Amino acid sequence: MIRVDIESIVMASGPVPSVVVLRERKNGATADAPLRALSIQTGAYEAASIGNGIDSDKAAPRPIAHDLLLNTVKELGARVERVEINRWDAPVFYADIVLECTGNAAESKVSEQGDGVREIKLDARPSDALALATRSNAPIYVEDDVMNRAGSISYQAARDEQSSQEEIERFDEFVKNPEPRRFLGLGSSSQPWRPSPMRVRPFSLSCGLLISRECCGRVRE
């Protein structure tokens, strides 16, 4: 299994599907290999629900379906341990929501984990699994075979790495020639070095059909 994070959420309108992009974590990737991403098409409502789970400051005044499901899980003494994107039959992705609980459950759905803890796997759409993961801070995993077959190189990660390298080169140039006028960008054709602004949010919400076409729209949930 490959640990991933939500890289971006592309909101679309009309008949064009929205897209959720998952990117593998750097510590799980092969050294010097480009990070891979998995793009999953979903409906606008589901994409908005995933975004609302990440942005907890914009919680709905009344619980929506995913909030209600998570509250039910908690009241029954269980928790969302992780979610897994475990199968891809083009163009459909499949997922499991993995719960940990101490109560009784159907034996066909349960595996013992020791210390009386039971693990329950629930078949789910990836969008529903991701919506619960964002609300419960549960880790997200993608099966290796799914990433190998349906994944692609993360262009956002490549752009971030290129920007970081350019910033390092500009800083090195400034250190070698620490002239005040150069630092202020006066009397020099080169750009003054300034630190890049910190990325506060791990995801982005974008609108428009053009952006949707940029996100590997060949797969559908």
178 in any annotated domain: no
Q: What is the CA angle 7-8-12, rounded to 5?
A: 160
Burial class of residue 115 in the structure, from the number of CB atoms within 10 Å of its CB (0-12 exposed, 13-18 middle, 19+ buried): exposed
186 in any annotated domain: no
162 in any annotated domain: no
Q: What is the pLDDT of residues 18-71, one digit of tens each?
A: 999 999 987 655 556 788 999 999 999 999 999 989 887 666 778 889 999 999
> What is the distance between the alpha carbons of residues 149 and 38, in angstroms, rounded to a whole number?
10
191 in any annotated domain: no
Q: What is the CA angle 8-14-18, rounded to 5?
A: 20
106 in any annotated domain: yes
Q: State residue 104's pLDDT score.
A: 56
179 in any annotated domain: no
Cβ contacts of 163-170, under 8 Å, gap ≥ 24 = 163/196, 164/196, 167/193, 167/195, 167/196
Q: What is the pLDDT of residues 169-181, one digit of tens each?
A: 665 565 556 555 5
CATH of the domain at 56: 3.10.690.10
163 in any annotated domain: no
17 in any annotated domain: yes
Would the pTM count as exceeding 0.85? no
Instruction: Assess contact for 48 and 105: CB atoms under 8 A.
Output: no
The total number of structural domains that make up the chain: 1
> What is the distance between the alpha carbons of residues 214 and 44, in angstroms, rounded to a whole number?
17
> What is the distance between the alpha carbons of residues 125 and 120, in angstroms, rounded to a whole number?
16
Q: At what angle do helices 65-75 and 44-54 cross, to 10 degrees?
A: 50
User: How big is the chain by its Cα radius of gyration, in Å?
Assistant: 21
Instruction: Tell me the mean pLDDT in the region 99-114.
Output: 60
CA–chain centroid gap for 119, Å, is 24
Is the pLDDT confidence value at 161 over 60? Answer: no
What is the domain range of residue 123?
2-157+199-214
